[in-house]
Structure 1
């Protein structure tokens, strides 16, 4: 069926992919369906989220120069999720995914939408990681309130567009290997022996600054997060790969400095999933801030 329909009188189901980094219990609580990407370690293909696809295993494989790559979900896997939603009484699906600049997942969703038994609106979040997850959560909030498929898709796009994602990596080598950043930029980072600060910019990895030490990188991430938050109410997530101590230190600082912005909500912190971890490498620290503004105000 068409990927631009509105749906009928039933509920709208939100689908996303495993790179959205939503804790399983959060996705379940909000009725969000998560379709896994795959990580390929050596010759083994593993669904992200399975017990075998651990961040530790990915980090170890990268350090050992074991070939690690990733794979988008097949259109058939997306279609199966849409068919299940239809079978369970949904009138439409809004499918919110990792930036099309970084993965073919969005394309798989578009292909599946053509054959779906109900209208499917596919949203390119232009984000990576929890930036996509926060967009899906906003979508689920509107869906739970009875919003149309178009309303649900619009709020997902709005929140994703308002979200800021900053990170640093110990080396650009892993991003270069996966084709997620240019060879010239990777060479420059290595030649200067610096810690590159990066951001997600229009769906791509963009260079932000270069600093000399991990400690300085952490301090700059803190300042960038505070600047991005401004006076807004925000949700905040700190992610890492094989760098728990620095992630905890950054989380503690941001809980203190962004207390007013958080308004009592929990600051999330966790290890990056296997698929994204395969592209950034051990040592990565990221912070994502998603304003609450795009979310509709609950009626009194």
Structure 2
């Protein structure tokens, strides 16, 4: 039996990697301008950020439905595959609840669920790690256990232009400590224990980018590395170049915050995701 990897669109994995590794991505839902879209299928980042910056309202998100998961799980199980389903942190989304209900409703399907405790491209790197391990063979339980043992090796650092979107979206978590002092600062957040934790408050974008590079360097040696942006690919390219001391440029993955994460990250955000070398 083949172990197939399933995740959700909050992983922000580039389409070429999804296709290359046979990963199944369930779209989350984004409500913008009173219309509901499937992230990555019915609304693309350019359109989403244009709406976000032009509209006075605030978008909302919803996890894939139980029916969405049932359809995917039935399809894969019907082909004789086993399913390893790895998703956005349960502290940030109800996606795992939908996945769990779908699993319980399908008798005989071999499905393992994992709460990554991550989001965006750090989740994407964990999913990519899982897909590579699955391709090397082993039972569903063996691959799932390896993935769980390696979750602590995946890290995410994000430099936001504002905490406004994270606050409005109710996902601010431990970063609430920065509220009240967010004027003229570009907060850096770290994914830790499944939610956003404050790191520091640089005074401008240039300092924030330098600190991203310094903080990422503290996590060396690096197995995989990704950079991600919401609306500024040129700054992401600069960030990527500044990180080539950790990995060659042609090995650094470029990603973009999709509509799901963009709802909370907002415009002009940058991020770094790292998978550390096993020690």
Instruction: Quickly name the TM-score band, shorter chain normalised.
Output: over 0.9
In 1: Cα distance, 2:176 partner to 2:131 partner: 40
Matched, 1:253 2:222: no
| CA deviation profile, 1:214-261 (whole Å, cap 9, x unmatched) | 1100000011111112xx242111111112221111111112x113xx
The answer as to whether partners of 2:224 and 2:276 remain within 8 angstroms in 1 is yes
Q: Once the 2 structures are TM-superposed, how far is the Cα of residue 265 of structure 1 from its aligned partner?
A: 5.8
What is the distance in 2 between the residues matched to 1:171 and 1:221? 16
Q: Please, which of 20, 37, 60 is the counterpart of residue 50 of structure 2?
A: 60
Alpha-carbon contact 2:222-2:246 (below 8 Å) kept: no
CA–CA distance in 1 between the matches of 2:208 and 2:51? Answer: 25
- Quote the residue 1:3 is aligned against: none
Which residue of structure 2 lines up, in the alignment, with residue 152 of structure 1?
143
Q: For residues 108 and 165 of structure 1, what CA distance do their matches in structure 2 show?
A: 25
Q: Is the 8 A contact 1:59 1:242 kept in 2?
A: yes
Give the corresponding residue for 2:208: 217
The superposition leaves residues 240-297 of structure 1 with CA deviations (integer Å, 9 ceiling, x where unpaired) of: 1112221111111112x113xx5x8610113211110111100100001012429xxx
Q: Deviations over 1:159-188 (max 9, x none)?
A: 332111101111100000110115954532
Unmatched 5+ residue regions in structure 1? 1-9, 295-300
1:109 paired residue among 75, 99, 104: 99
Match of 1:131 in 2: 122
Distance 1:189 1:88, change over 3 A: farther
Picking from 26, 29, 33, the partner of 1:35 is 26
Match of 2:252 in 1: 267
Q: Distance in 2 between matches of 1:132 and 1:89?
A: 26
Q: 2-side partners of 1:148 and 1:292: how far apart?
A: 23
- Scaled by the length of structure 2, the TM-score of the pair is 0.93
SS at match of 1:211: coil
Q: Is the 8 A contact 2:14 2:254 kept in 1?
A: no
Alpha-carbon spacing, 1:243–1:265, altered in 2? closer, same or farther (3 Å): closer
In the alignment, the residues of structure 1 paired with residue 213 and residue 133 of structure 2 have an alpha-carbon distance, to the nearest angstrom, of 31
Aligned residue in 1 for 2:76:
85
What does 1:275-294 align with in structure 2 at a 5 Å threshold? 275-293=260-278
Q: In the alignment, which residue of structure 2 is the partner of 1:188?
A: 180
1:239 aligns with 228
**Other structure's SS at 2:157 match:** strand
Alignment coverage as a number of residue pairs: 276
**Stretch moving more, 30-39 or 54-63:** 54-63
Report how far residue 189 of structure 1 moved: 3.5
CA 1:80–1:195: 2 relative to 1, 3 Å: same
- Which runs of structure 1 show a deviation greater than 4 angstroms over 4 or more consecutive aligned residues? none
| RMSD (CA atoms) | 1.8
